[in-house]
Structure 1
Amino acid sequence: MDDKKPLKRHEALKPLSRQHHFGLLFSWKLRKGFAGNISVNRLKAYADWFFVHEIEPHFKLEEDHIFPILGVRDALIVRALKEHRRIERLFHDQDNPKNSLSLLEEELEAHIRFEERVLFAEIQKVATQQELKKIEEIHFEIGSKEEYMDTFWEKN
Protein backbone atom coordinates (compact mmCIF):
# COMPACT_ATOMS: atom_id res chain seq x y z
CA MET A 1 0.00 0.00 0.00
CA ASP A 2 1.37 3.40 -0.96
CA ASP A 3 1.18 5.69 2.06
CA LYS A 4 2.19 8.84 0.18
CA LYS A 5 -0.18 11.68 0.83
CA PRO A 6 -1.51 13.56 -2.19
CA LEU A 7 0.25 16.84 -2.81
CA LYS A 8 -1.60 19.80 -1.38
CA ARG A 9 -1.45 22.55 -3.95
CA HIS A 10 -2.34 26.15 -3.15
CA GLU A 11 -5.27 27.39 -5.24
CA ALA A 12 -3.01 29.94 -6.96
CA LEU A 13 -0.81 27.17 -8.37
CA LYS A 14 -3.53 24.67 -9.30
CA PRO A 15 -3.92 25.96 -12.88
CA LEU A 16 -0.20 25.39 -13.46
CA SER A 17 -0.48 21.91 -11.98
CA ARG A 18 -3.34 21.19 -14.41
CA GLN A 19 -1.06 22.29 -17.24
CA HIS A 20 1.60 19.93 -15.90
CA HIS A 21 -0.95 17.14 -16.23
CA PHE A 22 -1.20 17.93 -19.96
CA GLY A 23 2.60 17.76 -20.17
CA LEU A 24 2.54 14.30 -18.62
CA LEU A 25 -0.14 13.27 -21.13
CA PHE A 26 2.08 14.59 -23.93
CA SER A 27 4.91 12.32 -22.75
CA TRP A 28 2.52 9.37 -22.57
CA LYS A 29 1.26 10.09 -26.09
CA LEU A 30 4.80 10.14 -27.45
CA ARG A 31 5.50 6.78 -25.76
CA LYS A 32 2.31 5.37 -27.33
CA GLY A 33 3.40 6.74 -30.69
CA PHE A 34 6.82 5.13 -30.47
CA ALA A 35 5.29 1.83 -29.32
CA GLY A 36 2.86 1.94 -32.25
CA ASN A 37 5.61 2.69 -34.78
CA ILE A 38 4.05 6.03 -35.67
CA SER A 39 6.27 7.95 -38.08
CA VAL A 40 8.71 10.41 -36.55
CA ASN A 41 7.28 13.11 -38.81
CA ARG A 42 3.84 12.71 -37.24
CA LEU A 43 5.29 12.71 -33.72
CA LYS A 44 7.40 15.77 -34.50
CA ALA A 45 4.38 17.60 -35.92
CA TYR A 46 2.51 16.93 -32.67
CA ALA A 47 5.51 18.04 -30.60
CA ASP A 48 5.77 21.27 -32.61
CA TRP A 49 2.08 21.97 -32.06
CA PHE A 50 2.30 21.17 -28.34
CA PHE A 51 5.32 23.43 -27.89
CA VAL A 52 3.56 26.45 -29.40
CA HIS A 53 0.19 25.88 -27.71
CA GLU A 54 1.24 24.60 -24.28
CA ILE A 55 4.94 24.54 -23.41
CA GLU A 56 6.08 27.96 -24.62
CA PRO A 57 3.33 29.95 -22.87
CA HIS A 58 3.58 27.75 -19.76
CA PHE A 59 7.34 28.31 -19.43
CA LYS A 60 6.85 32.05 -19.90
CA LEU A 61 4.26 32.21 -17.12
CA GLU A 62 6.46 30.25 -14.74
CA GLU A 63 9.54 32.32 -15.54
CA ASP A 64 7.74 35.67 -15.38
CA HIS A 65 5.44 35.11 -12.39
CA ILE A 66 6.35 32.02 -10.36
CA PHE A 67 10.13 31.70 -10.35
CA PRO A 68 10.77 35.28 -9.13
CA ILE A 69 9.23 34.30 -5.78
CA LEU A 70 12.40 32.33 -5.00
CA GLY A 71 14.73 34.50 -7.09
CA VAL A 72 16.94 33.73 -10.07
CA ARG A 73 19.89 32.70 -7.91
CA ASP A 74 17.98 30.07 -5.95
CA ALA A 75 19.35 26.58 -6.72
CA LEU A 76 15.88 25.19 -7.50
CA ILE A 77 15.19 28.01 -9.94
CA VAL A 78 18.59 27.63 -11.58
CA ARG A 79 17.80 23.94 -12.09
CA ALA A 80 14.29 24.66 -13.42
CA LEU A 81 15.60 27.26 -15.89
CA LYS A 82 18.33 24.89 -17.14
CA GLU A 83 15.71 22.21 -17.64
CA HIS A 84 13.45 24.65 -19.49
CA ARG A 85 16.28 25.49 -21.90
CA ARG A 86 17.13 21.80 -22.38
CA ILE A 87 13.49 20.91 -23.06
CA GLU A 88 13.18 23.79 -25.54
CA ARG A 89 16.29 22.55 -27.39
CA LEU A 90 14.80 19.06 -27.61
CA PHE A 91 11.55 20.44 -29.02
CA HIS A 92 13.49 22.41 -31.67
CA ASP A 93 16.04 19.77 -32.68
CA GLN A 94 15.85 19.10 -36.40
CA ASP A 95 19.04 17.02 -36.71
CA ASN A 96 17.85 13.88 -34.95
CA PRO A 97 14.16 14.27 -34.14
CA LYS A 98 13.65 10.60 -33.22
CA ASN A 99 16.33 10.76 -30.54
CA SER A 100 15.20 14.19 -29.36
CA LEU A 101 11.57 13.12 -29.04
CA SER A 102 12.60 10.03 -27.11
CA LEU A 103 14.69 12.13 -24.72
CA LEU A 104 11.95 14.76 -24.57
CA GLU A 105 9.26 12.42 -23.33
CA GLU A 106 11.54 11.29 -20.49
CA GLU A 107 13.00 14.67 -19.59
CA LEU A 108 9.71 16.57 -19.70
CA GLU A 109 8.11 14.03 -17.37
CA ALA A 110 11.06 14.21 -14.94
CA HIS A 111 10.98 18.02 -15.05
CA ILE A 112 7.26 18.13 -14.29
CA ARG A 113 7.72 15.74 -11.37
CA PHE A 114 10.52 17.98 -10.02
CA GLU A 115 8.40 21.11 -10.31
CA GLU A 116 5.35 19.49 -8.71
CA ARG A 117 7.09 17.64 -5.88
CA VAL A 118 9.98 19.98 -5.06
CA LEU A 119 9.83 23.42 -6.64
CA PHE A 120 6.15 24.24 -6.17
CA ALA A 121 6.25 22.86 -2.62
CA GLU A 122 9.09 25.27 -1.82
CA ILE A 123 7.35 28.18 -3.53
CA GLN A 124 4.21 27.49 -1.49
CA LYS A 125 6.30 27.55 1.69
CA VAL A 126 7.96 30.92 1.07
CA ALA A 127 5.40 32.85 -0.98
CA THR A 128 3.60 35.64 0.80
CA GLN A 129 -0.19 35.87 0.71
CA GLN A 130 0.24 38.94 -1.48
CA GLU A 131 2.38 37.00 -4.00
CA LEU A 132 -0.10 34.12 -4.08
CA LYS A 133 -3.00 36.53 -4.54
CA LYS A 134 -1.18 38.17 -7.45
CA ILE A 135 -0.66 34.76 -9.05
CA GLU A 136 -4.35 33.93 -8.61
CA GLU A 137 -5.30 37.14 -10.40
CA ILE A 138 -3.31 36.14 -13.47
CA HIS A 139 -5.28 33.95 -15.81
CA PHE A 140 -3.17 30.84 -16.21
CA GLU A 141 -5.56 28.93 -18.39
CA ILE A 142 -3.29 29.16 -21.39
CA GLY A 143 -3.14 27.18 -24.56
CA SER A 144 -5.53 27.12 -27.43
CA LYS A 145 -7.77 24.46 -25.87
CA GLU A 146 -8.25 23.25 -29.40
CA GLU A 147 -7.60 19.58 -29.82
CA TYR A 148 -4.79 18.22 -31.93
CA MET A 149 -6.42 16.56 -34.92
CA ASP A 150 -4.06 13.59 -35.49
CA THR A 151 -4.86 11.36 -32.51
CA PHE A 152 -2.15 8.81 -33.32
CA TRP A 153 -2.06 7.64 -29.68
CA GLU A 154 -5.56 6.19 -30.00
CA LYS A 155 -4.62 3.91 -32.87
CA ASN A 156 -3.01 1.19 -30.74
Structure 2
Amino acid sequence: MEKPKPIKRHEALQPLSRQHHFGLLFSWKIRKGFAKEVSISRMKAYADWFFEKEIQPHFKLEEEFVFPVLGNDDPLIERALKEHREIKELFEDAEEPSKSLQILEEKLTDHIRFEERTLFNRIQEVASKSEIEKIDEIHLQISTREEYTDAFWEN
Protein backbone atom coordinates (compact mmCIF):
# COMPACT_ATOMS: atom_id res chain seq x y z
CA MET A 1 0.00 0.00 0.00
CA GLU A 2 1.37 3.37 -1.03
CA LYS A 3 1.89 5.90 1.73
CA PRO A 4 -0.12 9.13 1.22
CA LYS A 5 1.92 12.18 0.27
CA PRO A 6 2.34 14.72 3.06
CA ILE A 7 0.11 17.77 2.75
CA LYS A 8 1.92 20.97 1.84
CA ARG A 9 0.31 23.46 4.19
CA HIS A 10 0.35 27.14 3.25
CA GLU A 11 2.56 29.11 5.62
CA ALA A 12 -0.37 31.26 6.79
CA LEU A 13 -2.22 28.14 8.01
CA GLN A 14 0.78 26.46 9.65
CA PRO A 15 0.23 27.96 13.15
CA LEU A 16 -3.31 26.54 13.17
CA SER A 17 -2.00 23.18 11.98
CA ARG A 18 0.50 23.20 14.85
CA GLN A 19 -2.40 23.80 17.23
CA HIS A 20 -4.17 20.84 15.62
CA HIS A 21 -1.16 18.74 16.57
CA PHE A 22 -1.68 19.74 20.21
CA GLY A 23 -5.35 18.78 19.88
CA LEU A 24 -4.31 15.32 18.70
CA LEU A 25 -1.95 15.10 21.68
CA PHE A 26 -4.83 16.06 23.97
CA SER A 27 -6.86 13.14 22.63
CA TRP A 28 -3.90 10.79 23.05
CA LYS A 29 -3.43 11.94 26.66
CA ILE A 30 -7.10 11.33 27.46
CA ARG A 31 -6.88 7.83 25.92
CA LYS A 32 -3.78 7.16 28.05
CA GLY A 33 -5.60 8.44 31.12
CA PHE A 34 -8.46 5.98 30.56
CA ALA A 35 -6.03 3.13 29.91
CA LYS A 36 -4.19 3.91 33.15
CA GLU A 37 -7.48 4.31 35.04
CA VAL A 38 -6.68 7.88 36.03
CA SER A 39 -9.48 9.56 37.98
CA ILE A 40 -12.07 11.31 35.86
CA SER A 41 -11.67 14.45 37.97
CA ARG A 42 -7.97 14.73 37.01
CA MET A 43 -8.71 14.24 33.32
CA LYS A 44 -11.67 16.66 33.47
CA ALA A 45 -9.46 19.30 35.10
CA TYR A 46 -7.00 18.91 32.21
CA ALA A 47 -9.84 19.07 29.67
CA ASP A 48 -11.17 22.27 31.27
CA TRP A 49 -7.71 23.82 31.15
CA PHE A 50 -7.16 22.72 27.53
CA PHE A 51 -10.56 24.05 26.49
CA GLU A 52 -9.83 27.48 27.96
CA LYS A 53 -6.21 27.78 26.83
CA GLU A 54 -6.31 26.03 23.45
CA ILE A 55 -9.72 25.13 22.04
CA GLN A 56 -11.69 28.33 22.62
CA PRO A 57 -9.01 30.65 21.19
CA HIS A 58 -8.35 28.25 18.30
CA PHE A 59 -12.03 28.00 17.34
CA LYS A 60 -12.36 31.79 17.55
CA LEU A 61 -9.43 32.33 15.16
CA GLU A 62 -10.72 29.76 12.68
CA GLU A 63 -14.25 31.15 12.74
CA GLU A 64 -13.10 34.78 12.49
CA PHE A 65 -10.26 34.54 9.95
CA VAL A 66 -10.29 31.18 8.14
CA PHE A 67 -13.88 30.07 7.65
CA PRO A 68 -15.00 33.34 5.97
CA VAL A 69 -12.87 32.37 2.96
CA LEU A 70 -15.52 29.81 2.02
CA GLY A 71 -18.49 31.45 3.78
CA ASN A 72 -20.98 30.04 6.28
CA ASP A 73 -23.17 28.54 3.54
CA ASP A 74 -20.40 26.26 2.30
CA PRO A 75 -21.07 22.61 3.29
CA LEU A 76 -17.52 22.20 4.62
CA ILE A 77 -17.90 25.27 6.84
CA GLU A 78 -21.35 24.15 7.98
CA ARG A 79 -19.80 20.83 9.02
CA ALA A 80 -16.86 22.52 10.78
CA LEU A 81 -19.14 24.89 12.71
CA LYS A 82 -21.46 22.04 13.72
CA GLU A 83 -18.47 20.04 14.96
CA HIS A 84 -17.17 23.08 16.86
CA ARG A 85 -20.51 23.31 18.69
CA GLU A 86 -20.52 19.56 19.46
CA ILE A 87 -16.92 19.62 20.73
CA LYS A 88 -17.65 22.69 22.87
CA GLU A 89 -20.67 20.92 24.42
CA LEU A 90 -18.55 17.86 25.23
CA PHE A 91 -15.88 19.99 26.92
CA GLU A 92 -18.55 21.81 28.94
CA ASP A 93 -20.49 18.69 30.02
CA ALA A 94 -20.16 18.39 33.80
CA GLU A 95 -22.98 15.87 34.27
CA GLU A 96 -21.36 12.86 32.58
CA PRO A 97 -17.67 13.78 32.26
CA SER A 98 -16.48 10.19 31.80
CA LYS A 99 -18.78 9.60 28.84
CA SER A 100 -18.10 13.07 27.41
CA LEU A 101 -14.33 12.64 27.62
CA GLN A 102 -14.51 9.29 25.83
CA ILE A 103 -16.61 10.75 23.03
CA LEU A 104 -14.53 13.94 22.98
CA GLU A 105 -11.20 12.25 22.37
CA GLU A 106 -12.61 10.54 19.26
CA LYS A 107 -14.65 13.48 17.99
CA LEU A 108 -11.77 15.95 18.38
CA THR A 109 -9.41 13.64 16.50
CA ASP A 110 -11.93 13.15 13.68
CA HIS A 111 -12.58 16.89 13.50
CA ILE A 112 -8.89 17.75 13.29
CA ARG A 113 -8.36 15.15 10.55
CA PHE A 114 -11.28 16.65 8.60
CA GLU A 115 -9.91 20.18 8.90
CA GLU A 116 -6.36 19.16 7.98
CA ARG A 117 -7.16 16.78 5.12
CA THR A 118 -10.21 18.44 3.61
CA LEU A 119 -11.16 21.90 4.85
CA PHE A 120 -7.73 23.55 4.97
CA ASN A 121 -6.84 22.10 1.56
CA ARG A 122 -10.00 23.64 0.08
CA ILE A 123 -9.29 26.98 1.74
CA GLN A 124 -5.75 26.97 0.34
CA GLU A 125 -7.16 26.35 -3.14
CA VAL A 126 -9.63 29.23 -3.17
CA ALA A 127 -8.26 31.92 -0.84
CA SER A 128 -7.28 35.19 -2.44
CA LYS A 129 -3.97 36.86 -1.69
CA SER A 130 -5.69 39.35 0.65
CA GLU A 131 -7.54 36.55 2.47
CA ILE A 132 -4.26 34.67 2.98
CA GLU A 133 -2.66 37.88 4.28
CA LYS A 134 -5.55 38.30 6.73
CA ILE A 135 -5.12 34.69 7.92
CA ASP A 136 -1.39 35.31 8.23
CA GLU A 137 -2.13 38.11 10.72
CA ILE A 138 -3.28 35.56 13.28
CA HIS A 139 0.34 34.53 13.87
CA LEU A 140 0.45 37.46 16.25
CA GLN A 141 -2.65 36.27 18.12
CA ILE A 142 -1.39 32.75 18.76
CA SER A 143 0.40 32.92 22.07
CA THR A 144 3.16 30.73 23.34
CA ARG A 145 1.97 27.49 24.83
CA GLU A 146 1.65 26.92 28.53
CA GLU A 147 2.36 23.48 29.89
CA TYR A 148 -0.15 21.68 32.07
CA THR A 149 1.37 20.67 35.39
CA ASP A 150 -0.44 17.36 36.15
CA ALA A 151 0.99 14.94 33.56
CA PHE A 152 -1.44 12.11 34.48
CA TRP A 153 -0.76 10.38 31.14
CA GLU A 154 2.85 9.68 32.19
CA ASN A 155 2.18 8.01 35.56
Q: Which residue identity is paired with 1:55?
A: I
Mark the runs of 5 or more structure 1 residues left unpaired by the alignment: none
Structural RMSD (CA): 1.2
| Cα shift at 1:95 | 1.0
Answer whether contact 2:33 2:152 (CA < 8 A) is retained.
yes
Aligned counterparts, 1:107-122, within 5 A? 107-122=107-122
Higher mean C-alpha deviation, range 11-20 or range 126-135: 126-135
Q: Which residue of 2 aligns with 1:154?
A: 154
- 1:141, distance to aligned residue in structure 2 (A): 5.7
Q: TM-score, normalised by structure 1?
A: 0.96
The residue type equivalent to 1:66 in the other structure is V
Partner of 1:106: 106
2:23 maps to a residue whose letter is: G
The one-letter code of the counterpart of 1:59 is F
Give the number of aligned pairs. Answer: 155
Q: How much does 1:134 deviate?
A: 1.7
Q: CA deviation at 1:32?
A: 0.3
Cα distance in 1 between the residues matched to 2:113 and 2:143: 21
Q: After the TM superposition, which residues 25-64 of structure 1 pair with which residues of structure 2 at under 5 Å, given as runs?
A: 25-64=25-64
What residue is the counterpart of 1:129 in the other structure? 129
Query: Is 1:80–2:45 an aligned residue pair?
Result: no
Q: CA deviation at 1:145?
A: 1.6
The AA in structure 2 aligned to 1:92 is E
Q: Are 2:94 and 1:94 equivalent residues in the alignment? A: yes
Q: Is the 8 A contact 1:54 1:142 kept in 2?
A: no
* Equivalent residue, structure 1, for 2:19: 19
Q: Deviations over 1:9-41 (max 9, x none)?
A: 000000000000000000000000000000000
Q: Measured at CA, do residues 134 and 84 of structure 1 come closer, stay the same or move farther in structure 2, by a change above 3 Å?
A: same
